[in-house]
């Protein structure tokens, strides 16, 4: 009797069913490359254990690795993997998310909900409000899925200074926000916008997490661009 072949979906579920591997993937949603040692410390596991899990995630196509000298860096393999992890987080917390166990945890949770990056684009209340403001200004069409309008492309390229080249990645994509339960802008346009905001010094990271803070110099600019004055 022939053995049963494991379906791809089951293999993917098996990779993410382990708590350490899921923690690694969630940490890497910040869009940066991490060393195996950094991931080990973040997850609270031994370096050898982290290395074993990373090898499985790379073999499964969820992570990509690169070597620089003695260091082994890993990142999420593609933007689509990042979107998958974020979307799965929405469903995982759709019931009753566990409340923070400490004041520090509550502060960190609120910072993540207020403004964060989802791999390479904006998320949280800031990401959702910016997306809604772009739609209100006619820069983004949201009636039949997300689509960048002609004026939206012109605005991103001329006023924001974003570079919207070709490529296989969708120009715009709706990404269901993990905390807001509403879509924010993803895709190449969302990534370009987020990159420019960082380059201009309008956004700064908070600690080592995905949370970001809007700098004071950007508040008036946000009000002008989107009619939204975010908290600093």
Residues 118 and 29 in one domain: no
50 and 159, same domain (yes or no): no
Residue 203 shares a structural domain with residue 114:
yes
Domain limits for position 130: 103-226
Question: What residues contact 142, with CB distance under 8 A and at least 6 apart?
Answer: 135, 174, 183
Give the model's pLDDT for residue 4: 60
User: Does residue 206 share a domain with residue 117?
Assistant: yes
Q: Are 173 and 120 within one domain?
A: yes
| Per-residue pLDDT, 1 | 44
Same domain, 124 and 37: no
More confident residue, 205 or 46: 46
Task: Round the average pLDDT of the chain to a whole number and report it.
Answer: 83
Q: pLDDT tens digit string along 137-148?
A: 899 999 888 999
pLDDT in tens, 105-161: 677 778 888 888 888 899 999 999 999 989 998 999 998 889 999 999 888 888 777
> Strand (E) positions, 119-181?
121-123, 140-141, 147-148, 173-176
Shared-domain flag, residues 52 and 140: no
Helix (H, G, I), strand (E, B) or coil at 62: coil
DSSP character for 6?
P
pTM for this prediction: 0.75
The fraction of the chain above a pLDDT of 70, given in percent, is: 84
Give yes or no for residue 30 having a pLDDT over 60: yes
163 falls within a domain: yes
In what helix (H) or strand (E) does residue 110 lie, and over which residues does it extend?
A: helix 103-114
């Amino acid at each position: 009797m022939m053995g049963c072949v494991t379906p791809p979906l089951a293999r993917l579920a098996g990779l993410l069913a382990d708590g350490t591997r899921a923690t690694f993937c969630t940490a890497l949603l910040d869009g940066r490359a991490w060393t195996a040692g950094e991931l080990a410390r973040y997850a609270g596991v031994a370096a050898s254990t982290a290395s074993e899990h990373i090898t499985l995630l790379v073999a499964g196509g969820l992570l990509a690795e690169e070597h620089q000298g003695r260091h082994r860096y890993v990142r999420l393999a593609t933007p689509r993997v990042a979107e998958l992890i974020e979307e799965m987080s929405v469903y995982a917390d759709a019931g009753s998310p566990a409340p923070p166990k400490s004041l520090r945890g509550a502060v960190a949770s609120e910072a993540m909900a207020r403004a964060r990056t989802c791999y390479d684009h904006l998320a949280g209340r800031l990401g959702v409000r910016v997306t809604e403001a772009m739609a209100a200004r006619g820069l983004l069409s949201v009636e039949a899925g997300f689509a960048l309008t002609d004026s939206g492309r012109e605005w991103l390229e001329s006023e924001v200074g974003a570079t919207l080249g070709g490529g296989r990645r969708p120009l715009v994509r709706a990404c269901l926000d993990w905390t807001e339960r509403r879509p924010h802008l993803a895709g190449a346009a969302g990534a370009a916008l987020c990159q420019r905001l960082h380059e201009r010094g309008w956004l700064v990271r908070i600690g080592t997490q995905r949370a970001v803070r809007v700098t004071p110099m950007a508040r008036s600019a946000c009000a002008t661009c989107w009619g939204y004055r975010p908290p600093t």
